[in-house]
Structure 1
Amino acid sequence: MNNEVSHLTARAAALLAETDERRIRAIRSRRWVLYPRAKQALDRLRALLGHPRGTRMPSVAIYGDSGMGKTMIMKRFRDEHPSSFNPLTGTLKTPVLAMEMTSRPGERRFYAELLTLLGAPQRPRADIAQMEQAALRIMEAIGVQVLVLDEVHNILAGSYREQRIVLNTLRFLSNRLQISLVCFGVNEAREAISGDVQLARRFQQFTLSRWAANDQFETLIVSILRNTPLRNPSVLTAKSLRRILQITEGITANIFHMINSLAIDAIENGHERITDEVIESWEPDFDTEAAYA
């Protein structure tokens, strides 16, 4: 790689040939940045696909405050294992099926959402047993191996009885289809899953904690900067890193927002780098207590 762009990944370096407007657009777009903690989470999820099928399949629950990158990890895992169609056999295979847990989910609403995701026509007067059998038949036919549930803490919005029914439904699907479950949610989601002891025992827990002043945080900042198409390298001091933590409260979404804003300013003012001085003077335009995906 040319020494003039050695501070960037190949993909970010390629953007330097674009106009400032295109570079700014690229910075504002949601882009994947691999950092060690995200890789650890993805490695756990990938291992599920290689696990031999059985009646008590291992599952993974990923918890963290809003804005810690759970949804980005979920989408990355889903996109790494897309559906594929075999034109010779005429079969569709979907190893990873991802859905969002609806607000106040019940058994009927859960199956309705699942069937919609599967693209299945629904009879208005179909009972739950018919919806269940349709979902089982289609999921088995397309070879689902992992069912991913985002916003799983929404289970808590239902009554105790509704919570138990939904958890029983998840356990039933896992047992019948011999599939793994992956649940993403805020920290309160632990309470939701613990409502079914048998189900909870199957879950390996992975927590995305807020960032602290350590080597992992420094690696995160370096990874973001290497994926940010600025012509000059940004070399930040320990003081600047502490300032970023203070402003963002260790929330991943806030960190990305801050670095992106500073990078756009650097393009617009022609400096093409993020400096300690601009970090010290930067004021956030986000509410640090707001919820992020």
Structure 2
Amino acid sequence: MTNTTTHLTANAANLLSEPEAGRIRAIKSRRWVLYPRAKQTLDRLEELLEHPRGTRMPSIAIYGDSGMGKTTIMKRFRDQHPPSFDRKSGVLKTPVLAMEMVSRPGERRFYGELLTLLGAPQAPRADIAQMEQAALRIMAAIGVKVLVIDEVHNIIAGTYREQRIVLNTLRFLSNRLQISLVCFGVNEAREAIGGDVQLTRRFEQITLGRWAANEDYETLVTSILRNTPLRNPSVLTLKSLRRILQITDGVTANIFQIINSIAIDAIENGNECITDSTVEKWMPTFDTDAAVA
């Protein structure tokens, strides 16, 4: 067993002092692993925060199959810009506000969800105009610059009229508050946003496609291994990389799951590394068509 930790990131190396149960718990927990595709997406989102305020603010739509890491990237972006207290104004500033698009959305349900997120639920008898003004007032006061909407494909669950109303609402919020929109959704979300031509023109599209056998995929696996607290280095050949890709169907969540599962076995059996042999013997326990984003 090696005594060096050069094969790990600093955070992963620090976990080696934990008992086995602690390391296994860390592996099972949702943890952030930086890889080029995620970094490129986050860098682009950062640019929205720095963009001068004005009319027709640029926005980004991020599409991908379920399990491709959209929600993880969204949460990372949100967590990197938490609310901060402005002593001068006495207001908790929130540059990034993240919400999930409600199922079967309509204008009232959308504003209701938004106001609840803002900590200002409305009275049952409040009309839409009152809800709208309350949302505008609070969002302006707390300094929202980017409104992030996860599961934006839920829009298409509504009727055509409901879809148009919600899309008009998003465009109105962007115009009135001079904020950027970031929408995350499965590939069908293109249809949802495409329902408003004016809104569509503002969106830069980023697609998180399934992984293929290339350098980016190898970098992803290397990044996961470097963030997995095993005492010995894990060295995988191209054969093992191809097997992982085949089993997981190129879905990010599944790739994490297979590596995490083998890593836990490696801790429990004392091998403390992932090898070609353990990859070859591993059998999938998940449905590649039912990955979670």
AA aligned to 1:208 is L
Q: Structure 1 residue 39 and structure 2 residue 32: aligned?
A: no
CA–CA separation in structure 2 for the residues paired with 1:20 and 1:117: 38
Does the 8 Å CA contact 2:150/2:185 hold for their aligned counterparts? yes
User: 2:289 aligns to what SS in structure 1?
Assistant: coil
Look up the match of 1:194: 194
CA–CA separation in structure 2 for the residues paired with 1:199 and 1:252: 30
Look up the match of 2:290: 290
- Aligned pairs for 1:150-189 within 5 A: 150-189=150-189
TM-score (norm 2): 0.98
Look up the match of 1:142: 142
Look up the match of 1:112: 112
CA–CA separation in structure 1 for the residues paired with 2:222 and 2:285: 23
The two structures, once aligned, show a CA RMSD in angstroms of 1.0
Look up the match of 2:126: 126
Q: Deviations over 1:169-195 (max 9, x none)?
A: 000000000000000000000000000
AA aligned to 2:169 is T
Q: Which has the larger displacement, 73-82 or 85-94?
A: 85-94
CA–CA separation in structure 2 for the residues paired with 1:224 and 1:52: 36
Q: Deviations over 1:118-150 (max 9, x none)?
A: 001311100000000000000000000000000
Look up the match of 2:264: 264
Q: 1:70, CA displacement in angstroms?
A: 0.1
Look up the match of 1:213: 213
CA–CA separation in structure 2 for the residues paired with 1:180 and 1:288: 34
Q: Deviations over 1:94-122 (max 9, x none)?
A: 00000000110000000000000000131
Look up the match of 1:249: 249
Q: 1:262, CA displacement in angstroms?
A: 0.3
Q: 1:3, CA displacement in angstroms?
A: 7.1
Does the 8 Å CA contact 2:84/2:93 hold for their aligned counterparts? yes
Runs of 4+ in 1 over 3 A off after TM superposition: none
AA aligned to 2:194 is S
Does the 8 Å CA contact 2:112/2:121 hold for their aligned counterparts? no
- Aligned pairs for 1:89-100 within 5 A: 89-100=89-100
User: 2:4 aligns to what SS in structure 1?
Assistant: helix
AA aligned to 1:60 is I
Q: Structure 1 residue 76 and structure 2 residue 71: aligned?
A: no
Look up the match of 2:276: 276
Q: 1:88, CA displacement in angstroms?
A: 4.7
Q: 1:92, CA displacement in angstroms?
A: 1.3
Look up the match of 2:85: 85
CA–CA separation in structure 1 for the residues paired with 2:180 and 2:87: 28
The percent of aligned pairs where both chains have the same amino acid is 80
Does the 8 Å CA contact 2:49/2:145 hold for their aligned counterparts? yes
AA aligned to 1:242 is R
Q: 1:263, CA displacement in angstroms?
A: 0.2
Q: Which runs of 5+ in 1 are unaligned?
A: none
CA–CA separation in structure 2 for the residues paired with 1:143 and 1:241: 46
Residue 213 to residue 203, structure 1, CA distance change in 2 (3 Å) = same
Look up the match of 1:10: 10
Does the 8 Å CA contact 2:3/2:231 hold for their aligned counterparts? no
